[in-house]
Amino acid sequence: MNREWDRSRRGVIATLLSTLFAGLAPILGKFAYQVGVVPTTLVALRTALAAGLLWLLYLLIWRRYIAISRSNLLGCVGMGIANGIGSLLYYNGLARVDASLAALLYSMYPFWVFIFLSAAGHPVSRMSLLRLALVLLSVVLLTWHTEGMADPLGVTLMIGAGALYGFHLVLGQWTLVDVPSRTVTLYGLTTMAVVVGIPYLWQGGSPQPISAQGWLVILLVAIFPTALARLLVFAGLQRLGGVQTALLSIAEPVVSVALAFILLGESFTLQQWIGAALFLASVILIRRDTGLQVADEETWWRSLFPEDPAD
């Protein structure tokens, strides 16, 4: 019992630290845009730097986490592809809406975790339907104003980014049944770097020279919201599961919104505060959905890609 409690405690600490670092993403992203870094450049360079730093770290002190079987590598690649496309949506959406609104829309990924787990065969309860209604109402209140909807494309991109992050968390929970969290982080982030690097290289790199300030912000995004946040979130995910990880991640939009108000001078209308409260309530009510954890025997990923005896 004490061992299990210690495992859960470590998972909680790792997840909360992850949300703290991830909450810096929209703020640092806005700072990058202010010094002339465009979204595609930011997402490509920060991911490449983060992946490079991880490979250096693993080669120096974590060599045992580099080995991986082909079947488990497929799971990590799937996660990296989903998260990479989501990152492209995220940083392009962030360029079109306020950081505080972007943080809340993106942080609806616990709802998407529920959707994907339900699609995998978990029952849909009345509480789940209530949470769905609360989330949909919160989106309306957060994005619609008297003058119309906040930038529709920006809103759509942020919601899509959250959906892909939720899908990547579900894949991560299944993959982490067999693979250490550090290994998942390494190969997932490496795949991300390839995915987001394609449009960057396709357009010929950065459209303009990057200033020293720009490089500093890119480096900070690479270290904190990218490399460290992912190392910690997968460590927490392996110990807690997708639903509890998503529940604790409610701290992420709180950090982002608070920093956006303090550092960027943003603010919410009364209507948006009501929408934010409804969103927080929908996440807290995850505790009432008791059937959302993925048991080992339900890991369909393993049945699709059985372990190769030669691996």
Do 242 and 171 form a contact (C-beta atoms < 8 A)?
Answer: no
pLDDT, position 214: 96
Length of the chain in terms of residues written: 311
Residue 309 clears pLDDT 90, i.e. is over it: no
Kindly report the pTM of this predicted structure.
0.83
**Window from 28-42, 73-87, 135-149 with minimum mean pLDDT:** 135-149
pLDDT, position 300: 33
Residue 239 clears pLDDT 50, i.e. is over it: yes
Residue 129 clears pLDDT 80, i.e. is over it: no
Residue 185 clears pLDDT 80, i.e. is over it: yes
Residue 262: enclosing H or E segment and its boundaries? helix 251-264
Residue 36 clears pLDDT 50, i.e. is over it: yes
**Window from 167-181, 202-216, 287-301 with minimum mean pLDDT:** 287-301
Q: Who's near 297: CB < 8 A, 6+ residues apart?
A: none
Residue 64 clears pLDDT 70, i.e. is over it: yes
Arithmetic mean of pLDDT over the chain: 83
Dihedral through CA 89, CA 90, CA 91, CA 92, nearest 10? Answer: 40
- Rounded average pLDDT over 144-156: 79
Q: Reduce the DSSP state of residue 96 to 3 states and report it.
A: coil
Nearest to 154 by CA among 284, 280, 29, 281: 29
Q: 287 or 254: whose pLDDT is higher?
A: 254
Residue 233 clears pLDDT 60, i.e. is over it: yes
Backbone torsion region of residue 210, taken as left when φ is above 0, otherwise alpha when ψ lies between -120 and 50, otherwise beta: beta
pLDDT, position 148: 60
Q: Who's near 198: CB < 8 A, 6+ residues apart?
A: none
Residue 109 clears pLDDT 70, i.e. is over it: yes
Angle, to 10 degrees, between the axis of helix 181-202 and the axis of helix 39-61? 140
Do 96 and 154 form a contact (C-beta atoms < 8 A)?
Answer: yes
Residue 168 clears pLDDT 90, i.e. is over it: no
- Rounded average pLDDT over 70-82: 92
Residue 217 clears pLDDT 60, i.e. is over it: yes
Backbone torsion region of residue 204, taken as left when φ is above 0, otherwise alpha when ψ lies between -120 and 50, otherwise beta: left
| Separation of alpha carbons 93 and 159, rounded Å | 9
Nearest to 19 by CA among 293, 222, 254, 292: 254
pLDDT, position 143: 83
Query: 11 pLDDT band (50/70/90 cuts)?
Result: confident
∠ CA 26-245-70 to the nearest 5 degrees?
95
pLDDT, position 246: 63
